[in-house]
Amino acid sequence: MRLLRKDMKPVIFRERIPKKEPDGTPYEDWATEGIEVRGNVQPAGGKEMAAQYGERLRYIMVMYCEYTPDSRELLEQFNSQNKGYGACVFVPGDAEMPDYKVVAVRPWRHIVIELEMI
């Protein structure tokens, strides 16, 4: 699969920060700064994805991106350090909350990032 420059769009990935209320209730917040990665974002589909996600498939997007320093950093931190990330796909990068969360980052021929709607 070839990634065409005209189909690539910038997506901002922001790190998830777990926090607690004064009464001890946990919640998550998102970092203000993020990593910008350009890639081809499209709805997920196919037999494998349907078997893996089932009814949640309609909320899943797949992003294909090339190996760049930023995408390699996201791959390393998500897989080895188990950091959670949110993705601003259809909202501006400076929005209060991202609209998708990162479910998986896979290093195939391209880096494949699976996103689920929050």
pLDDT at residue 6, rounded to an integer: 86
pLDDT at residue 113, rounded to an integer: 95
pLDDT over 90 (residue 30): yes
Q: Is the C-alpha dihedral spanning 98, 100, 106, 107 positive or negative?
A: negative
| DSSP category for residue 44 | -
Strands (E), the chain: 9-20, 26-43, 60-65, 85-88, 100-107, 111-117
Domains of the chain: 5-117 (2.40.10)
Q: What pTM value is reported for the model?
A: 0.89
